[in-house]
Amino acid sequence: MFPKNAWYVAATADELNAKPLGRMICGERIVFFRGLENRVAALEDFCPHRGAPLSLGFVKEGRLVCGYHGLEMGCEGKTLGMPGQRVQGFPAIRSYPVEERYGFIWVWPGEAGLADTNTIPVQDWYGNPEWAFGGGLYHINCDYRLMVDNLMDLTHETYVHANSIGQREIDETPCKTAVDGDRVVTSRFMSSVEPPPFWQLALRGNHLADDVLVDRWQVCRFSPPSNVMIEVGVAHLGHDGYNAPDEHKVSSIVTDFITPETETSIWYFWGMARKFKPDDEALTAAIREGQAKIFSEDLEMLERQQKNLTLWPQRKLLKLNIDTGGIQSRKVIDRWLVAEGQTPETNA
């Protein structure tokens, strides 16, 4: 159960090259391809001739050619031609609003007339020479809301990520949650702690001492339908923590775009935009590798969690104060579902 009248990340821009890309988004089988002048198009992945997946075809002169019998489709879903056949009278197949922005391909799987590109979440770091970005994509077999829960409560870091970003002070420091309309913010600020291994790496990468006490922060920002941006960082003790000058800290924005595939599977586009040493490609690669390992640990936990929830659907989950960020985020999602005429699950 997911909102459809929303923009979702469907792919990274570099995934979409000369070949079409088939991907299920919110239960919709969609094919993405580049037409003339590199324009991105999104159609239902269904050839109107014999029902073959158009994603098994190829792109020629800006047209999507079915790999079964050569039927040619235009960017708007209209049949344009087929060798030796008269097919221009075929009814158009569904096309989806699609936009390439911030290095991603965004798609609107709901009512096309409601799509407004001004509502695509702004990524201020993109194209800014003061920032560097590295990320990746995981396919995870879990309900998208479980990932939202995971990211809006970072208490699990102490246990799931004990060897990278976890530390006991996360448990010991209470977090605060605030709600502003459809936005939910959960924050935790830790003072005078030792930097865990991942942050030691980042400190060294910025030519800062990694064996001194630091202030550490985590500010998780949820926005619908299922995006979470997390401000994270550490600063040498005595320099005003979160507000420390750049020369005394390492800070980043963890980007999390969670796109439902089905009710129990997601496309998880993760990354980290950092505001230090943006030209250091080796550091970007090292951080990406470390972050990939961290998120792979989440993957195993979430998939096992989903299996348990599927096995015992009648079990009611208990809620604690650390769950507040996830709970409030789910309330926002529920409001969006109601607005689309869907009935939220009572035991989600």
> Tens of pLDDT along 248-292?
999 999 999 999 999 999 999 999 999 888 999 998 998 889 888
Q: Which residues pair with 8 in a beta bridge?
A: 107
43: its two tokens = 């159609």
Residue 262 backbone phi and psi in degrees, to 5: -130, -170
> How many angstroms separate the Cα of 190 from the Cα of each of 169, 240, 325?
7, 12, 18
Neighbouring C-beta atoms of residue 1, cutoff 10 Å:
15
User: How far apart, in whole angstroms, are the C-alpha atoms of residue 167 and residue 23?
Assistant: 38
> Tens of pLDDT along 319-342?
888 889 999 999 999 999 999 998
286, containing H or E segment: helix 281-311
User: How far apart, in whole angstroms, are the C-alpha atoms of residue 269 and residue 228?
Assistant: 11
216: its two tokens = 């550490």
What are the structural domains, with CATH classification, of the chain?
Answer: 8-118 (2.102.10.10), 126-339 (3.90.380.10)
| Mean pLDDT of the 67-74 span | 93
User: How far apart, in whole angstroms, are the C-alpha atoms of residue 226 and residue 224?
Assistant: 5
Taking a C-beta distance cutoff of 8 angstroms, is the pair 168, 161 a contact?
A: no
Q: What is the pTM of this model?
A: 0.92
